[in-house]
Every structure is written in structure tokens, then in C-alpha cells.
Structure 1
Amino acid sequence: MNKGAGEALQSQSSGSNTNQAGQEEVSNPSESAAFINAIQEKTHYPADLVVRIVTEKISILYFENLIESNFLNEFILKYLQETNHNEPESISGNLSIPGVELATDINKTVNSMLNGVVCIHLNGHSQIVLAKIPARESRGLSAPENESQVIGSQVGFNENLSTNISLIRRYIVNPNLSNEKFRLGKQTNTSVSLLYIDGIAADEHVNTVRQRLSNLSIADLIDSASLVELIEDSSLSLFPQMLLTERPDRFCDGLLSGKVGIVVDGSSMAILAPISFIEFFQSKEDSNLRWPVATFVRLLRFAAIFISIYFTPLYVASLTFHYEVIPQPLLVPLSESRAIVPFPPILEAIFLELIIELLREAGARLPTKVGQTIGIVGGIVLGTAAVQAGITSNILIIIIALCALSSFTTPNYMMGNVIRVIRFPIIICAGFWGYYGIMFTLCILLVHLLRQTSLGGPYLAPFYPARLKDWPDSIVRLPMPFISRQSINSRLITNKKKKK
């Protein structure tokens, strides 16, 4: 661990009268009855708190759902029933399990019990033996749900922090892989791991993330998506500045390119930063395909993004203000299709876009089999009924369906949601000001992206600032020998250091 990490951990543990959670230290009662009563009061007399009197002098306390019962019976109870040791130090030194320590603070004792620790109390001693045997119940490893791919690894993260760390270490068998642990949330006390490869990740990025995690004061933390909003550069922006991924191969690929990773206990999504705007539209499968195929897929993906955002606004602007740009052969079918539609194009487009969003949201919230049926049948029925009722035109149905289909090509779910949202203000501006409104929103969008940063690095890299060396793995994917391994933002920081 480097000097910055040592200073951060030292600042967290400083102070003789308070523990790491900021609570005042209170010594454990030496009498067994008083100790048991104090633990019960601290935990508000929970039903799952187990108190067992092993011998006349030894008693143990634990939460029955948080510890491994087989380890308890085989390595702790059996030893305590047969031992003649009457000192906490001797018991802790002879227990044949790795995670054993002594504690005198009752707050630390309670917090440890909530993390899968068996508390061993000897009557007449304020020192407590803490034996860590947490239960390892978790969801089994399965294929990623939101980042599926045909070629490549089919294993995704689950909600267990230890399992996720072991997956990462299987991909990166490197002693330079650093893992710093934090506890966040005054109520939840959630474990968070900061991972990076020492010597590859930029010190500025590591120190920035470490400082933001250390200074974070929140009541609870349940998921990594909430943590991203708390530590990213601009939480008011619609665009995410950190990447959420459920793929360990993509996460490790980011660490190897100089990024900093965060894994949250209880969440199946890991965080990568810094990230550029272009990386949200790249898939890990691109590196597994031949470079001409991967380049074609990426170009197709970016074309689909343009279609998803601008086709509907172009339709609205053309029919409202700019009939002259429509080719003559297409103008007649458009006029016939809209002859019975009583609404202006802007209302017609927003109405259909809202229907598509309702169908998408309903399909996502319903069970899988029912959701697929609702999406297909609902789209066909509502589309046909809307055309027959004269509410919308056939051509707009095709355009809306094409835009919805194109939006699904975005590999990242968070960025896909952004594309869904920004279509609506662009449609409204196109309905009021035509092509001028579209260009106005495009300029506003571009200025906003130019102002965004990710851990202080440029969001639109490698195009702004322009770096030709990084273009081979941006919109196109050239052969591997032409691609630099180090991430764009880390390389920019390295170049600044050399200039200084």
C-alpha cells in the first residue's frame, strides 16, 4: 500500500476514545450476566440472537443466520467443551480458525457479531474472543443479465463481495493488484473494496477515489448505483461519469488499462472510473471478434444511436416546417398517411414515444415470459389500433419502431436510459423551431459533454482533447498491435507529468 493509503487508513483509525464508526468506546462488562444483558440491549433483544452457556465460565453469543453452524460445532464448541484454558489470550491462540481476535470495546463486539462473528465471553474478563465464521450463502454464479455476449466469458458478478473479489483475482494473478477496504453507511455498515493495479493506475485517480470514499458520510448504502451518484464528478448531469458493469472480464480489463474499480458488498454491479463517453458504446465482445467485424459492429452501433435520437425529431421538423426537404415521391404517401390524423406531428410523435416507453417499462417489470408477450402483443395491437383509429400514421409507426429498436443496441444500460430521455426535449424543440431547434439542442448537448469530466479527466477523450494514438480503439477497432493498453485518461495524466 502506498503512502496515501497509509495516511487515509491512519486518519480513519485515529483517536483513542472513538472507534472507526465514530462511536465512543465502552468496555465490555466482565460478568457474564451483565455482558449478555448489555449485548441484548445494544441489539434491542432480537429473536435471532443466540446465547449459549458452554461451561460455568464460558458463554458464547452469535446471530444464528449470520454464522456457519458447521464451523461453530466442529471448531469452536468442541474445543471450548474440552479445553482447560481460562484466559482469553490462550483461547484465541488455540482456536483452529483463521479469523480470531480480541476486543474490549462493546461497540466493536456488536459490529463484529453483525458481520458473522461468534463472541466468546469468559466470566471475570472484559476481553472478548471474536471468532469470525460468517455464513457464505449467496446467489450462485450465472451469466450476466444486462451485458450478454456470444463470444467470451459467461460469468457475472453476484451479490457476495468475497466471491466477486475471488473472481477478479482469478483473472488478474498479480501481486500488484491492490485492495483497500472501507465501511460506508452509518446504519448499514456496508463493506466496499477499492481495487487498482499499483504501477498502472494513475496515483491522482486512486487518491481522488480514496478521498471521496473516506469523506463520504451517509446513513445507508445498499447498491453500487447509489454510490456512483455520490462520488462522481457531477451528480446533476444526465450522463453517467462512471461505468457500472456486471462482467468480471470487463472490470478486469479496465483495471489492466489503468482504471480504478469499486466493488460493493450486496451489489452485483462493479464500478469503473475514469471513463470516457465513447466507452459506454463499446462492448467487451468487440475485443473477441476479428477487427473488421468488430469495426463494422461498432459503426452499426453508432449509426443506431443517431437513428434512435434524431429520426423522430427530423420527421417532426420536416412535416411541421420543412416540407421542401421531403422528396416528391415520398411526399404523396406522407400526405395520404396523415390525411385523417387530427393531431400535429409533435403530439403524434410524443404520443407514440410514450406508448413505446410504457410497453418497455411494463415488459421490464413483469415476469420474463409475461413481459415478452406483453411487449410483442401490446405493440402490435396498439400500433394497428392507433392507425385504424386515425390517431397516427403508418410511416411514424415505422420510424418509432426503428428508433426503439436502435436504442437497444447500446451495450450499457445506464447510457441507454439517457438516450431514451434526451429524445423528448429534442422532439419538442423540433416541433417548435424545426431544424433550428434540432441544431440548438445538438449544440447544448455538445457543450454539456465538453464540460463533463470523469475523475477530472476529459469526458470526450480521445476526440477532445484530440489524441490520434487512441483513435484505433474508439469508434473503430483496428488490429490489436495498433491499440494502446493504457486508458486514455491515465495516459493524459502521465504525459502531463513528463512535461512538468
Structure 2
Amino acid sequence: MKRRFKKSSYFPCKLNQLESDLKEQYFNSSPDLSSKTLNKDGKKCIVIFIDYLVNSDNLYDQVVDKIQQTPQWDNPSIKNKVPISGAQERSDIKSIGDDLLEGGACVYVEGEKSCLTFMIPRVEKRDPERAETESLIFGPQIAFTESLDTNLNIIHKRMDTSSLKVEKFVVGDTVPTEVRIVYLEDVANEDNVQELKDRLESLKIDDAMEASVLTQFIEDNSYSIFPQFLSTELPDRFCYSLKEGKLGILVDKSPSGVIAPVSFFSFFETTEDLYTRWNMGSFTRMLRIIAMVLSITLTPTYVAALTYHYEIIPDALLVSLGHSRTRVPFPPLLEALILEFLIELIREAGARLPTKVGQTMGIVGGIVVGQAVVQAGFTSNILIIIVALSALASFTAPSYLMGSAIRIIRFPLIIFAGLWGFIGIVASFAFIAIHLIKQRSLNRPYFVPFYPFQPRDIDNSIIRLPFLHSNKRAYSNNPKQVQRFPKPKKPKNNDIDEE
């Protein structure tokens, strides 16, 4: 049923008329609309609300009781008596209905030329808990929640500075959703801030739903498999990125924050790299990048070598490979695709099942299926080892989106390796490299520090130097303040005999 809104004020009106108009013209005769009529000295007042959207304690303690205690019933007197800030005078049905849907209570005294709406929403939220998808050994364990107010409170607790700026946007025509841009005004590049504002302001969608959905509308290339904005549930990583000159996005009802602009290598970084020693952090960071390369090359290399390039396989290993494939009726390409597909099925089933059942399914399913396919002659045991290593390597990516992209890329690489051997693998890598070089994140280069080449930014991407030698922010973000702190002077070391 199409809603009919009265654009002009029809106040004053009868109390039952107001309730009837709201129910019929705005709420399509919904039974959820409730009301309470009050009487005092021959005057009548009605309070209209939606039960499950308002805080019932505040409704009766701060609105109904205070109205009954008001000596004179008129809008100014009630507005002064009710201890709720932000009361609005409304004179049309649509504005009143919008306020009711946001958790407001409409108060109308018969004979007045407008009504008052007090916002007393019931907020359903959970307390901050331990991060699930981005688990850490060192550092704060707290994670974002679905409450925007809670998330902003966490950020302000961690960054108590006047430079922290928060700007509000409302996205969505059918279901308006509150979005906040968070950044450090003294550090963030103004062009980045304006670019993000323009994208949000020009966005015409029905519902933002969640932070990950919003990013798909405002990212630079929606056809790319690689994520261009970094999603995180960790406030400490969110705040660290703000201090680096990046921008943060928070979406109401979303338990994660979004960071932009980012580079390809940002998805292999964690704040745990900062909490450990610099050499340990550098090692684990490079290990993740190497694991990513191995994940997408091991199986294609197996397929290419057995299909076209037997000569590169050592004689001892070639005998073992030949023995393991004696019962396999499929060519290496089909064999690899079948096993990769089975691994993805087990992974997806384990992720969708309850936690304890999913863990059991992943372990038992992998062992049982792996042994069964070898005994049935569908695949060789050597390929099972290779596929298992590739799967493990893909899970080392801290970002779930990047890990998923790596797993998907393996399939076309396997196909090209089966069709053209190592030439297909090299051509695939060239295509991926060109794609990454052309990619942008909030109109900033995506493949820095390698393209454009920024040797000074290697510290902020590939490796981590000691903090005393890492006193500058990444140049690729073009921050207002490149220098974090003055580089300390090297302490003078005295010889033992001089002490």
C-alpha cells in the first residue's frame, strides 16, 4: 500500500484523529502503534509510541510522569519539564512517523498547533568481547560491536586528542544508516578526506546494510577480486591506521571498521607485528607474503611439471611421482581441480557448521576424504601434500577477504598451467601484476612501495624497523605530518675501561 503523507499542518486536531492518521497514512494500519491518553483539569494529552522501539523505563519515568507533574499543559511547559534533550516540534504526519520509527515518543496536547517528539530509543547492544576473526597473542583483545556509540567510545578512549575528527553521514534511501568518517585532522591528507566525502555524498542506494557492503559501493574497482578497503574488527588496528594518516569508516549496526586508503601489502600486516620485537615482526610479515606466493604457485607448478616439464623433476622424485600416479586415471589438471574443489568444500562446511562440530569436521573430513581419494585412485598422495600446504599457506593472510582472493586465484592458475605449462603460469603472474599495478584504493596507488617505487615505505609494508628508526609515516598516504617524532640521537657507547 502506498503511503499518503499530509504535507501541510493539520494541527490542532482531535487526539484520536492524530493516532488514526498515523496508523493509516504512515504505518499501514500496523498494530504496533501504541498510545496512552492523559487527563488533567479538563485537558487531554496523548503519548504515541511503538512498544519495541522505545525504552519503556524512560517513557514512563521521564515523559509520562513528568507531563503529569507539569502545572500547565502546553508545548513550552512540557518541553522544559521533560528532562530529555533534543525535543522537536512537529506539525506533519511524515516527520512524526519518522521520529517514531527511530525510537521517539510523540506528545500532543489537544488544541496545540504542533506536537513534541522525544527520542528515547531502546538500544539493543552487546558488550565488547574478544576478537574472533582476527585473533591476537599480544596486544588488546577487545573488538568492535554492532553499536556505533560503543565503537566511537572505544576509539575516543584510545585516542584522547583534539585532532580526532568525526563526521556524520546518512546513507540509504529506504533504510537510512548512520555512517561516520574518522580521521586525525592534523595528519590525514585533505584530498583523501574530500574524496571519501564525495563518494559517500553521491551514493544513492536503498540500504548500506553493513560496512563490508558499503565498501563495495564506494571502492575504486568493483570488478576486481582484490579488496581495496581493509575491514577490521580490532580498534587498536583501526586507531593505529588513523595515526598513520589513513581514514576510518564506521557504520551503525556493523561490528567492524573500514580503513582507507590501503595497499596490497596492508592485508598482510597485523598490529601484533608492532607488539613483538622488530625482527620477529619482520620475519612473520615476510613469512605471510612468501606463504601467499607459495599458495598460488605450488599446485600449478605440480600440474605444469607433470604435464609438460618432466625434465625439471629430479630422477628420485620422478620415480616416486610415477609410482603414486600409477592408479590415477585422470590427467594432472583434472586431478588437481578435483582435489582443490574437495578442499574448498571441507573448508566451507567447517566454516558454516557450529564451532565444535566445524573443527571436528575439518580434521576428520580432511583425513577421511584424503585417505579415501588416494585409495580409490582419484589422486596421488603427493598432490594431497601439495594441496594441503597450499591451503595452509592461504590461511596465513590476516585478512579473510585477501585469503579468499588467494584461494580463488589458484583455480585459473591451475587451468592455465594445465593448458600451457610454465608459460601459462608466467602469463598469469604477469596479468596479476599488471592488474595490481593499475589498481587504486581511494584514488591512491595500490601496489606501493613497488609501484610507484617508494623505498622509504618498505618499512611500513614489507618489513618493520625498530621504532627508533621508524619515525616517519608512509609517504604514499601523503600525510600532512610525515614525521612522527624527531629521530633520537644515537647514545654514546663508552668502553668498559672508561666506566
Distance in structure 2 (CA, Å) of the matches to 1:295 and 1:176: 31
1:39 aligns with 2:19: no
Distance in structure 2 (CA, Å) of the matches to 1:373 and 1:30: 67
1:171-210 paired onto structure 2 within 5 Å: 171-210=158-197
Q: Deviations over 1:85-118 (max 9, x none)?
A: 3321232233212332323343222112111211
Q: Secondary structure in 1 aligned to 2:452?
A: coil
One-letter code aligned to 2:38: V
Calculate the TM-score normalised by the size of structure 1.
Answer: 0.91
Distance in structure 1 (CA, Å) of the matches to 2:167 and 2:461: 31
- Give identity over the alignment, percent: 42
1:224-239 paired onto structure 2 within 5 Å: 224-239=211-226
1:473 aligns with 2:460: yes
Instruction: Indicate how the Cα distance of structure 1 residues 276 and 28 shifts in structure 2: closer, same or farther if over 3 A, else same.
Output: farther
**Equivalent residue for 2:416?**
429
Distance in structure 2 (CA, Å) of the matches to 1:30 and 1:338: 88
Q: Secondary structure in 2 aligned to 1:167?
A: helix
Instruction: Indicate how the Cα distance of structure 1 residues 488 and 38 shifts in structure 2: closer, same or farther if over 3 A, else same.
Output: farther
Distance in structure 2 (CA, Å) of the matches to 1:206 and 1:319: 52
Distance in structure 1 (CA, Å) of the matches to 2:288 and 2:19: 62
1:143-222 paired onto structure 2 within 5 Å: 143-222=130-209
Distance in structure 1 (CA, Å) of the matches to 2:303 and 2:480: 44
**Equivalent residue for 1:101?**
88
- C-alpha RMSD of the superposition: 1.7
Shift of 1:209: 1.1
One-letter code aligned to 1:101: Q
**Equivalent residue for 1:51?**
35
Distance in structure 1 (CA, Å) of the matches to 2:6 and 2:170: 17
1:69-80 paired onto structure 2 within 5 Å: 69-80=56-67
Distance in structure 2 (CA, Å) of the matches to 1:28 and 1:165: 40
1:55-454 paired onto structure 2 within 5 Å: 55=39, 56-454=43-441
Q: Residue 186 of structure 2 contacts residue 481 of structure 2 at CA under 8 Å; is this kept in 1? A: no
Q: Residue 122 of structure 1 contacts residue 128 of structure 1 at CA under 8 Å; is this kept in 2? A: yes
Shift of 1:393: 0.4
Shift of 1:255: 1.4
Q: Secondary structure in 2 aligned to 1:193?
A: strand
**Equivalent residue for 2:442?**
455
One-letter code aligned to 2:20: N
Q: Residue 97 of structure 1 contacts residue 131 of structure 1 at CA under 8 Å; is this kept in 2? A: yes
Q: Residue 430 of structure 1 contacts residue 437 of structure 1 at CA under 8 Å; is this kept in 2? A: yes
Moved over 4 A (4+): 23-26, 492-495
Q: Residue 26 of structure 1 contacts residue 107 of structure 1 at CA under 8 Å; is this kept in 2? A: no
Distance in structure 1 (CA, Å) of the matches to 2:28 and 2:358: 43
Distance in structure 2 (CA, Å) of the matches to 1:134 and 1:156: 24
Q: Residue 309 of structure 1 contacts residue 403 of structure 1 at CA under 8 Å; is this kept in 2? A: yes
One-letter code aligned to 1:51: S
Q: Which runs of 5+ in 2 are unaligned?
A: 483-499
Q: Deviations over 1:186-235 (max 9, x none)?
A: 22111111212212111111111111111111112211111001001111
**Equivalent residue for 1:19?**
none
Q: How many residues align?
A: 473
Distance in structure 1 (CA, Å) of the matches to 2:65 and 2:290: 67
One-letter code aligned to 1:216: L
Q: Residue 298 of structure 2 contacts residue 386 of structure 2 at CA under 8 Å; is this kept in 1? A: yes
One-letter code aligned to 2:23: Q
Calculate the TM-score normalised by the size of structure 2.
Answer: 0.92
Shift of 1:180: 1.6
Q: Secondary structure in 1 aligned to 2:459?
A: coil
Shift of 1:283: 0.8
